[in-house]
Structure 1
Amino acid sequence: MTPVETDRQLPSVSDMLEQQQRGWACVWCRTWFPVGLSTDLGQQRVVPATGAAYLWFPRECLDTAACATRAAQ
């Protein structure tokens, strides 16, 4: 999948579950993805105040309206 830009600012990686950081679940609503049913938001690099830099791989739901409803609950 080709990474896309999102109008929303990505949440802080430190507030996410491992599944969200690895692209297995939506960064917004935490829904698990079936294979191929998500939007790649592009590889991200984090440089924490302490420790080593690392990469994370955010993805979001294809159905953004349903995602927003789930995230608001």
Structure 2
Amino acid sequence: MTVRDLPPVGELTEQQQRGWSCVWCRTALTVGEDMDLGEKRARPEGGAAYSWFPRACSDAAACAARETGKMP
């Protein structure tokens, strides 16, 4: 797997922050067809820190194609 920087948490949907959808392509994820990217901590300016749980598609090539809109 290629290491990628995570998008800023403030730009993600609730589904992406909770690990229900891919952090990059927004596809809904199912158990066994996803990759856990580990618990992350966010510290918003002027707010309380919280945990978020990014996950990604296990098929990186398909994810990248969906993200760029270049599905065959």
Sequence identity of aligned pairs in percent?
58
Cα distance in structure 2, aligned partners of 1:10 and 1:19: 15
Residues 17-26 or 34-43, more deviating? 34-43
Return structure 1 stretches of 4+ with deviation > 2 angstroms: none
SS in 1 for 2:15: helix
Moved more, 53-62 or 34-43: 34-43
Write the mapping of 1:29-48 to structure 2, written as runs, cut at 5 A.
29-48=25-44
The TM-score normalised by the length of structure 2 is 0.90
Q: 1:63 aligns with which of 36, 59, 64?
A: 59
Count of residues paired in the alignment: 69
Q: Can you give the 5+ residue segments of structure 2 that lack an aligned partner in the other structure?
A: none
Alignment check: 8 A CA contact 1:6 1:41 kept: no
**How far 1:7 sits from its partner (Å)?**
0.8
**Unaligned 5+ residue runs, structure 1?**
none
TM-score, normalised relative to structure 1: 0.88
